[in-house]
Amino acid sequence: MLRVNEPRAERRPHTWQRPTGAVDDPYAWLRERDDPATIAYLEAENSYADGWFAERRELLDTLFGEIKSRVQETDEAAPVPFGEWFYSGRTVEGQSYPIHCRGRSAATATEFVLLDQNAEADGHEFFDLGAFEVSNDHRRLAWSADVTGAEHYTLRIRDLDTGDDLADELHDSTWAGVAWSADADHLFYVMPDEQERPYRVMRHRVGTAQDDDVEVYRDDDERFFVGIGSTRSGEWIVIQSGSKLSSESLLIPASDPTAEPLLIRPRVADMEYHVDHWGDRFVILTNDDAVDFRVMEAPIDGPGDWTELIGHEPGRRITGIEPFAGHLALHEWRHGQPQVRVVTRSGDQTVLAIDPEPHDVEFGPNEEWDTTTLRLSHQSLTTPGRVIDVDVTTGDVTVVKQVPTPNVDLEAYVSQRLWATADDGTEVPVDIVRHVDTPLDGTAPTCIYAYGSYEASMPPWFSVARLSLLDRGVVFALAHPRGGGELGRNWYLDGKLLQKRNTFTDTLAVRDHLVETKVAAPDRLTIRGGSAGGLLVGACITMRPDAFAAAVAEVPFVDVVSTMSDPSLPLTVTEWEEWGDPRAEPFASYMASYSPYDNTVAAAYPALYITAGLNDPRVSYHEPAKWTAKLRDVRTNDVPLLLRTEMGAGHAGPSGRYEAWRDESRSLAFILTATTNP
């Protein structure tokens, strides 16, 4: 169907040779970023999308104004005690980025500025703060920044007495952490390989050139990502190398930074472990003979000699441990809900009661070692984020900080958990939130958000932007399909590799359940997701093009087979353990059965808003670009189809809170236009 003024990508002959046979791909050339026609096509799509949004300028401005009005732009973060200092941050009206500070008391925690991101971002279209690590003696700050979105960071060292950066400038570091030696004279960081994989730990001596830095560890197995960090006690530096299926850890005494790393246990297929220091022993979180993980302990002089400390319980997925001098705090998922468990040295265990409705609870910044106070962050679909301190000896809860939400009546919104039945009988959780005045009579427009990959659990979160949908009668539904981790490790295993289609059919089952129970109007549904969640969006609408009125696919991973067949592309090899290797059967046929790009055929598709980042190292711009070009070629209806590429950003989209609000306003305007005709 020819549409006036729509961009059209040139068709050039190209054939992929696959185990399933030859496949024509006339848009394969869009992978060539240096081809002037590639940039010309992306710019043409941007111009077309901008024209569509320009026609809705009043709605966009209204939505942006609503989001802005619900944010207290000048605000301070909760002070974090750390040694003799209290660390905090603040935002200032009109400025896009936070300012990091400290003071000698909680009341004066913003007195001394450590790093003003606004000043560092000046002159850059994009700015992302990577590392921000204060040394244990509080003299130095390691901080890094990426100014392109390509996730290559320049690491610097700031003297906190003078406020000046030292001459040290470490280029091409990653997001995979940093660690200080005890005396703050050495800094450890991680560098990427040619496929953007963090793989090499370097040791830098403060005051020397980067060329003199020493390689401490490298992992040449392309399946493994390497990270660096410190134990909570500050006494050990931990090197962690992990794939999707196994991991291993090495230790360096923080007081002896030039010591050879000590391997705790060599990697074993399908066995993961993570180590921390608990004073007189090490504690290890592992899935060794425990699908949902258990906690082991080991002596300081024998960190590979494990005995069980906290046993395995099927369905209780332990996701993290935080050791303190007198207790352990465990973060875990149970019955599709995160919770925190406190274990004393005597073995007593207590689950902290936080919220009866679907919610999120996470460890907050806990910098102090010898304390009975556990800092947590909490939010839900109807409760803005708050910082709370729990006294683990008494159970007393203190709200340290509640994120202010001006011009919002929080009593106007209600949430609940529902369960949908998948094709194979599996019960799939979905959390919904709506305005109290929105009827559940089958007339409400509804937006389903889902991810469902990498064992990433998606706890309910509060969003001031989302209120613009709820106030207009839209129901928001957060689906938890298999492939995530909400119901334990098996929930993840049942949604990956040769079970991946469960992720998409679970989401479609949620869609049908919302219609059948009259939560959602059948012809006013939107599906939204990003990255692997964008794959979910693409798979759902190619499996059932008539199931949704609109879809928002943000940096979507949609050209699955072509990308995963090319090990020269960034991160491909590491992803085979998640998706499979389509260069051979059975994965060739199975992945081809759901890959959105390969399954985009002549059909009436929902209205689509697709985004990309030209500098994205995770999902290359060419995947959403190729998909858009193919959709334009084969779709049989005339509804909005927009592609918008950030030409100076990467996977996370534009940086800075005001640009992020503008970006979100576009998605909201698209959803409202397609499903409510505002």
- Which residues are the active-site residues? 531, 616, 651
The answer to whether 640 and 609 have CB atoms below 8 angstroms apart is: yes
- H or E segment and range at residue 153: strand 153-159
Token pair recorded at residue 296: 């082991």
Specify the 3-state DSSP secondary structure of 567: coil
- Please report how the helices 36-54 and 622-634 are oriented relative to each other, as an axis angle in degrees rounded to 10: 70
Please identify which residue in the block is written with the tokens 């246990």: 265
Cβ count within 10 A of residue 416: 13
**Residue 404 burial class via C-beta count within 10 angstroms: exposed 0-12, middle 13-18, buried 19 and up:** exposed
- Please tell me the distance from the alpha carbon of residue 493 to that of residue 482, in angstroms, as a whole number: 8
Which residues are registered as beta bridge partners of 144? 155
φ/ψ (deg, to 5) at 560: -60, -50
- Please tell me the distance from the alpha carbon of residue 666 to that of residue 223, in angstroms, as a whole number: 37
- Please tell me the distance from the alpha carbon of residue 338 to that of residue 74, in angstroms, as a whole number: 31
CA 79, 80, 81, 84 torsion: positive or negative? negative
- Please tell me the distance from the alpha carbon of residue 241 to that of residue 229, in angstroms, as a whole number: 12
All residues at 6 or more sequence positions from 512 whose CB lies less than 8 Å from its CB, including other chains: 420
- Please tell me the distance from the alpha carbon of residue 227 to that of residue 210, in angstroms, as a whole number: 19
Distance between first and last Cα of the chain: 27
Which residues are registered as beta bridge partners of 103? 86
φ/ψ (deg, to 5) at 317: -85, 110
